[in-house]
Amino acid sequence: MARVFLDQWVLSCAGVNSAIVFSWNAVTSADVYRVSIDDGTGWREPIAATSTSYVFRGLAWASVFSLSVQAGKNVGSSVVWSSTASRSCETPFRSVPTGLECERTATSVDFSWDPVPGATSYTVVLEPQVTGGVKRRVEQISEDSVEFVGLSPSSSNILSVFAVVGGRPQLPGEIKCVTSSAVADPDPPVCSAVGDDSVTLSWGADSRVHQWYVARVTTGDSYVDGVMLGSSVLSKKFAGLASDRTYSFRFCGEHRAEPAGQGFLVSFHVRPQHWLASPRLSRVALRRQTV
């Protein structure tokens, strides 16, 4: 009877998404190979392979599988098979959660993410980026959001979410979230003068502010004529405007204790009309926003 002469088996595998690429070295005198896989419930029916690799698809994420291969030699109308070589291999963790968002107040953050297919629960970790901050960990979350309260104002935090698939945590998705300032907004500016083609904005001094930002808002919420002013400057004139038009402006006072880029903004509209005895001003919104 013919015999399949075996070299030393060299098996390799790689988990790619929900598949495993199973490879092996060529065997002397082999005409064909057959492979099988066991997901813990028993070996599947062997599958013929004419090359030295095979891709098992449609597998569970983050799971361990046993793989086997045999080399075969055609002898007449039958095939003589070698002994079985086997090894184990894992499918990888699923892609990290996406769609991470953070809604914040001065003392809390509401963290949310897109659902991960196949996840039975989530584990979320909040890690303050300040000395002495206490890391918080919440497990067995069944929803796709969680709220952390009792945080410090203007504090930076790293939020991580792990999807649990098949009882195992996957790679995390991370986002940085800074709580809002507890400092009150400065008073909004007033329209102190209106000319035929100009508007002058004025505001009061604020000891908390180290510089001001003022700009005119155009279509699409874009800024033009923006300027940074020292804390002692308390007015700004915008010239070259058309008469009988409504204009919007941004006003920001940057607080000394605020992180870089944080400030207080107010948006309002003025209508310059040279025949008006006093300017008309309509305050539209007062809100805090990143500059």
pLDDT in tens, the chain (291 residues): 455 555 578 999 988 778 899 999 998 888 999 999 999 899 999 999 989 999 999 998 778 999 999 999 888 889 999 889 999 999 876 667 889 999 988 889 999 999 988 788 999 999 998 888 889 999 999 999 999 999 888 889 999 999 887 777 788 899 999 887 766 666 778 888 777 788 888 988 887 778 888 888 876 667 788 899 998 999 999 888 877 777 888 887 776 655 444 444 444 445 544 333 333 333 333 333 333
Amino acid at 211: Q
Cβ(122)–Cβ(144) under 8 Å? Answer: yes
Torsion of CA 206, 209, 211, 214, to 10 degrees: -60
Query: Rounded to whole angstroms, what are the CA distances from 254 to 154, 209, 230, 273, 291?
Result: 13, 5, 10, 32, 9
Q: Where do the domains of the chain lie, and which CATH numbers do they carry?
A: 11-90 (2.60.40.10), 101-178 (2.60.40.10), 190-290 (2.60.40.10)
Structure confidence at residue 287 (pLDDT): 37
Burial of 165 per CB tally in 10 Å (0-12, 13-18, 19+): buried
Structure confidence at residue 225 (pLDDT): 86
Dist. CA 119–CA 44, nearest whole Å: 26
Lookup result for tokens 């901050």: 133
Strands 173-178 and 156-165: antiparallel
Q: Which residue pairs, CB below 8 angstroms and at least 24 apart, start in 201-207?
A: 201/235, 201/236, 201/237, 201/238, 201/249, 201/251, 202/234, 202/235, 203/234, 203/235, 203/251, 204/234, 205/231, 205/232, 205/234, 206/231, 206/253
Q: From the CB of residue 158, how many other CB atoms can be counted at a distance below 10 Å?
A: 14
Cβ(191)–Cβ(241) under 8 Å? Answer: no
Residue 69 tokens read as: 């291969």
Query: Rounded to whole angstroms, what are the CA distances from 30 to 26, 51, 78?
Result: 8, 10, 13
**Rounded to two decimals, what is the model's pTM?**
0.42
Dist. CA 33–CA 71, nearest whole Å: 5
Query: Rounded to whole angstroms, what are the CA distances from 200 to 116, 228, 252?
Result: 53, 16, 16
Q: From the CB of residue 244, how many other CB atoms can be counted at a distance below 10 Å?
A: 11
Structure confidence at residue 267 (pLDDT): 47
Structure confidence at residue 226 (pLDDT): 86
Q: From the CB of residue 140, how many other CB atoms can be counted at a distance below 10 Å?
A: 9
Dist. CA 184–CA 284, nearest whole Å: 18
